[in-house]
A and B are shown apart, each in its own frame.
Chain A
Amino acid sequence: MKPAPFHYEAPRTLDAVLALLGEDAKVLAGGQSLVPIMNFRLARPATLVDVNRVDELAHLRKRDGVLHIGALTRHATLERSGVVARGWPLLRQAVRHVGHPQIRSRGTVGGSCAHGDPTAELPVALTALDARFHLRSRAGERVVDAAQFFVSHLTTALHDDELLVEVEVPPLPAGARTAFVEYARTHGDWALAGAAVVVAPGHAAIVLLGAAPTPLRAADAEAALAAGAGAAEAARRAGALVEDEWRAALTSSLVRRALEEAGA
């Protein structure tokens, strides 16, 4: 199917983008989620604001130990980046599960987060990394953490006139090891369940994919792990967060595999 008629704008500056945002406008970045749902006429924005020409959104920079990911950074850029591989290996581990190479060469970090799909890989990994999200509007900028940003199914803290401009990721704790695992019926399909883990001396982050309308922190399992429990016990507690019996078992075994991979 073809999308409903819409008005198209492709400004070159961030200010021009912000001036166009509003109730009936939708931001087009990589288009890997938005264009299909427009083609199915599930989304019918009056105006499409294409941000692909905005230079201010296309950066990937490490400064004072903190990673700054511009919203327009492609999945493929994250996957190839040496800075990411050295400092934030979890992002590379996660992004490799996103769709196929064609999708990764267009899809953006900002788009994946702003879409708010609970089975998307990057939001789960970014939650495990305690990322912060920079939201900009004509009125100014605010910064929220992952728990505030991801609200529900396809719903984020972004207002109609706001744009996600940057995701900021703090450095990993010393000696941290990370892993990302997921299960999908076929490779590149939407995952049914998954987990991102960060394990370091005195620190544990376990975040579940597809277990709730947003990335879900398994706080109970994290606490157990920090208190000296083994991977099996932490995985059992993480699985207990999921209601459906089959999914609970799947989630638990994925968490266990991730923790073992990260050396917990």
Chain B
Amino acid sequence: MRLRNELEVGAPLERTWKTLLDVPRVARALPGATIDPQAEGGAWRGTMKVKLGPVTTEYAGTVRIQDVDEDDRVASYRVEGREARGQGSAAATITTRLGTVGGATRVVVETDMQVTGRQAQLGRGLMEEVAGAILGDFAGRLERELRGDAAPDGGGGEALDVSRAVRGPVLERAGLVLAGLIAGLALGRWVWRR
């Protein structure tokens, strides 16, 4: 699944670029994420919590800088994680491209994501909404971080409840999918018990 988002950061390009290559600093601006400050072989271990109404999914995994194009200011990251509880997994290649708009920096973020497990059944529309909500929040926090304001509410540990940012009809559909899943699981368990 490919997603494309754009965000504008009120900071000069060079400063934004340097910050983007500082993975622990970027992770601090990502809602619901925690990260080990020390990398190992170019990979940082961390966790990420995504909250959608009553459903919280926690992923544990690694993030590494996949490649860096210093000439064109393009950097990409490889994120790989498994659900802390459950069988699902998520992997993504995230490419960020910087450009200047006035005194600000435009960041085009392209995400190529593979999700397996129950979360995959939520479908593309919902995942786009979730990614959009997370990135919107991330842009605001990154901007504050770049301006040198103290990290709000103790960094990125707190998961953002994306259901607030997700549009009604999509959430309704997600509710249906979840209800179906829960019903299916309950039925399955009941059949299994017999």
Contacts and interface: CB of A to CB of B under 8 A. Distances in A.
A62 B70 CA distance: 6
Interface in B88-120: 93, 95
Contacts of B39: 55
Given A81-B76, A82-B76, A82-B95, A58 B68 contact: no
A55 B40 contact: yes
Nearest to B71: A62
B41 A83 contact: no
Contact of A62 (B43, B64, B68, B95): B68
A84 B67 contact: yes
B42 A82 contact: no
Contacts of B71: 62-65
Contact of B69 (A53, A57, A58, A83): A83
A61 B70 contact: yes
Contacts of A187: none
A254 B177 CA distance: 52
A58 B41 contact: yes
Given A82-B76, A82-B95, A83-B74, A77 B41 contact: no
Contact of A53 (B41, B66, B72, B95): B41
A115 interface: no
A64 B68 CA distance: 12
B67 A72 contact: no
B78 interface: yes
A222 to B, nearest CB: 29
A56 B176 CA distance: 49
A64 B71 CA distance: 6
Interface string B9-46: 00000000000000000000000000000011111000
A52 interface: yes
A83 B43 contact: no
A258 interface: no
B67 A83 contact: yes
B154 to A, nearest CB: 27
Contact of B41 (A55, A61, A80, A82): A55
B70 A77 contact: no
Contacts of B64: 58, 77
Nearest to A86: B69
B43 A77 contact: no
A152 B39 CA distance: 36
B44 to A, nearest CB: 10
A46 B177 CA distance: 57
Contacts of B66: 60, 77, 80-81
B3 interface: no
B65 interface: yes
Contacts of A80: 66, 78, 93
A59 interface: yes
A170 B140 CA distance: 39
Given A54-B41, A55-B42, A82-B95, A61 B68 contact: yes
A176 B189 CA distance: 60
Given A12-B40, A55-B39, A58-B41, A77 B74 contact: no
A80 B64 CA distance: 13
B82 to A, nearest CB: 15
B14 to A, nearest CB: 15
A61 B65 CA distance: 10
A68 to B, nearest CB: 9
Nearest to B97: A82
Interface of B: 39-43, 64-72, 74, 76, 78, 93, 95
Given A61-B70, A62-B69, 13 more contacts: A53-B40, A53-B41, A55-B40, A55-B41, A55-B42, A58-B41, A58-B42, A59-B68, A62-B70, A72-B42, A80-B93, A82-B76, A83-B74
What 5 A-B pairs are tightest by C-beta distance, nearest first?
A: A58-B42, A60-B67, A83-B67, A81-B67, A63-B70
